[in-house]
Structure 1
Amino acid sequence: MERHQTSVTRTPLNSVVVQRRSKSKSYRQSYRSCLGATSRLGFTPALTAQRLNASRRAPKSHDITKKVNPEHLNLLMKTEWQLSYVTPLYQFRHTQLKSYSRQLSAFIAAEKQQGFAVEVDGSHSFRVSFSVVQGMVETDHDAETILIQIHSSPAFARQDEPQKSVWRGCLTCINGNPDYIHSLLKDFICLPLFGSSGPQGLTSLVKSWFQQTFDCYFGPLEISNTSLQWLVALWTNCHTESNIQHLKMIWTLPAVPPLQVTYSVNPEDAWELWSSVRKAHQEENEGGEKAKDEAIVDIEEVMRFMQCLKSHFYRHFRLDLSAGSLDQVSTALGSAKSNGRIKILNSKYMITTLTLLTECALLKMPI
């Protein structure tokens, strides 16, 4: 414990066909015409009462290397992504990626000329590449994932010296809410989860270009306390198929200065506790009208599992973790932080993790 102060690719089109009057008309206005007046809180009527799913399928191993380019997987994995949500993109086309690469390259060059672009280790030129990560979809209404890379050449590089990747971005939608996606107007593409890795200056430039070109908006995507607890349970559930090696949680307790607690759990102990919680929950449901599906994990199981972990900690250290907040969780499958940073270390459970994060991004979607 420590104290701290601290390219033919499918672009799904929606069933609602409405002619947009002009490109300058914001998607917010288009939503209003399609979905009616906004609520007082400013969210779409369809999403105002929606919450994070109370149940989800238990994660199973997916060998996505059979359908996703291993090179793309390597770029997506083992990189710590800073997450944002992004509203639907107007007239984005997966078939125009070469054009987008040229446009964004020119935009960065123009901003740099005006003194706004970021300097990266003395780099004087940037090259942008857009590519489709084919196979990173789970349903017919998911749009294909887009990977963006920015390469640069050092100021005094040799002519034959290859450019180096200095920034990476990813737009994705895995198991997106079909009701939300089909409520969009025809020319809007839903890729709500955006991850970036690299200098903040380049991230700002990329977001600015997207907002100007596709009439969208980016916002920060924190990972809530509930979502982090879901990841604790879902990753622990994977232990028998892929050894999680460790379960590490970092909590922050309200104190002056704030008390940061690192809580590490033996993977076998975590698995045994999780199994007992699952078994007890299943037995409780045996007498009900509907037997519990073993492939489904309920929020009640997640909360009970976390409460058992906190109770065990209290017995030993007399500190009530319930009084604080869960800030970080990590296993051999990945790590996640409440500030919106995520790293995926095992491709077999990438779909499970991205499904949860896509859901979080869609729940943040304003109009």
Structure 2
Amino acid sequence: MAEGTSTPTFIDTNRQSLKSRSHFANWTGRTRRFTPYTKTPKSRKSVQQASRHGDKEQGIPLKRFVNKTWYVYQVTPLYQFLQDAGSLKRYSRHLSSHLQSEAQKGHGFETGESLGARALFQKVPGLDDIEGNSEGIEITVTSLQNNVGNTGSPRVILTAVLSSFGTKDLTDFDVLSKDFKRFPVLLVKGLVTPLRRTIAWLESQFDCRIRRMSFNPVHLSWMVAMWTGINNGPLSKPVELKYSVPPTIKSLSYITMTIQQEDAAKLWKCIHKGGIEDGVLSEEVADYRQALESHFFVHFKIQLSAMTLKRIGTPLACVGNEGRLKILMSSGVRTVLYHLTEVVLENAGHIA
């Protein structure tokens, strides 16, 4: 038994666990059918290729994205969306009026009637392209609530970030008319009602469509492969893959495989052809997932390949199939946004 190998953990819905040790450093890669659910590229840029800025210089402002639960939405191009200060102030006034008008109709937010809802559009500091243009617009909605004992101070009820980070690098996609702006990724967190009304206003104002993004097992496989090797030092989270169990099995609903980041990174290095700055191939992603599932099968005799991958966790981020996202490192925010941009643009034709 080799020293320093991973201890996989099997967790069911009753929080039972089993542990074992194995050696996968000599794994050479066995082939199996890897069927994509949607059109996927043959390769993607690595973390280093996708990052165009020094994290040391711009990592601090992007901490606003870290350790918060976001939901990912995809957005079609916005018609006549402008980013100058005057336009952003105008959008703030118009959205504020829209939210207040909806509240006056007697439809408040989740807790009490909305009083004085205010929206603010502003550029995200630190999220700029190589020419210094902003690639992120943050929409913040605050409100006073008509509750007994309220001090009158506003509270944030919605935060939404429109991101176009990476679109200029992804040259395989159609060039837009000058009247359109592409902000394909929308990250949101907050109350459901103001979110729904804000989305409705954006769709009406800029003739776009916005819908929740879902990530299929192929999307999640790419993320776990590309982000496994990112090390956050002693704070690095282990690599996790959560699978849903077929409904014919009544005793449990999910199985989660957990592997220490160092061991998962060693396995990835055995599979990835080339250096850390080289692109990642779809065959490597398929082989990596197969290796992890085979590793699990050796110890528990459970075929994870017969189940559906629902959630992944890496030192960089945790992502769920329902579009839930939690970024764990400020230095990796651009990496995550770049990858989300690529996935959303590939999936753009699926917005109904």
TM-score normalised to structure 2 length: 0.79
Letter in 2 for 1:312: H
Are 1:331 and 2:322 counterparts? no
Partner of 1:108: 99
Q: Deviations over 1:177-205 (max 9, x none)?
A: 334352x2211000011111111111110
Are 1:340 and 2:350 counterparts? no
Change (3 A) 1:243 1:141: same
The counterpart of 2:228, out of the listed 208, 231, 236, is: 236
Distance 2:182 2:303 in 1: 41
TM superposition shift of 1:150: 0.8
Partner of 1:275: 269
SS of residue in 2 equivalent to 1:237? coil
Distance 1:241 1:298 in 2: 27
Letter in 1 for 2:223: L
SS of residue in 1 equivalent to 2:138? strand
SS of residue in 2 equivalent to 1:339? coil
Partner of 1:248: 240
Are 1:78 and 2:71 counterparts? no
Partner of 1:90: 79
Change (3 A) 1:160 1:198: closer
Partner of 2:171: 178
Distance 1:161 1:204 in 2: 25
CA contact (8 A) 1:130 1:148 kept: yes
Q: Deviations over 1:200-232 (max 9, x none)?
A: 111110010001111111122111211211111
Letter in 1 for 2:76: T
Q: Which runs of 5+ in 2 are unaligned?
A: 1-10, 15-37
Distance 2:152 2:64 in 1: 21
* Equivalences, count: 308
Distance 2:67 2:44 in 1: 25
- Map of 1:182-197 to 2, 5 A cutoff? 182=175, 184-197=176-189
CA contact (8 A) 1:332 1:345 kept: yes
SS of residue in 2 equivalent to 1:126? strand
Distance 1:114 1:65 in 2: 48
TM superposition shift of 1:119: 3.6
Q: Which runs of 5+ in 1 are unaligned?
A: 5-49, 283-291
Stretches (4+) displaced over 4 A: 138-143, 156-161, 240-243
SS of residue in 2 equivalent to 1:94? coil
Partner of 1:12: none
TM superposition shift of 1:341: 0.7
Partner of 2:158: 167
SS of residue in 2 equivalent to 1:238? coil
Distance 1:89 1:306 in 2: 37
Q: Deviations over 1:50-75 (max 9, x none)?
A: 933322232248644624772xx233
Q: Deviations over 1:72-103 (max 9, x none)?
A: x2332222111111111111101111111111
Letter in 2 for 1:55: S
CA contact (8 A) 2:59 2:331 kept: no
CA contact (8 A) 2:227 2:314 kept: yes
Distance 1:141 1:179 in 2: 23
TM superposition shift of 1:104: 0.4
Letter in 2 for 1:361: V
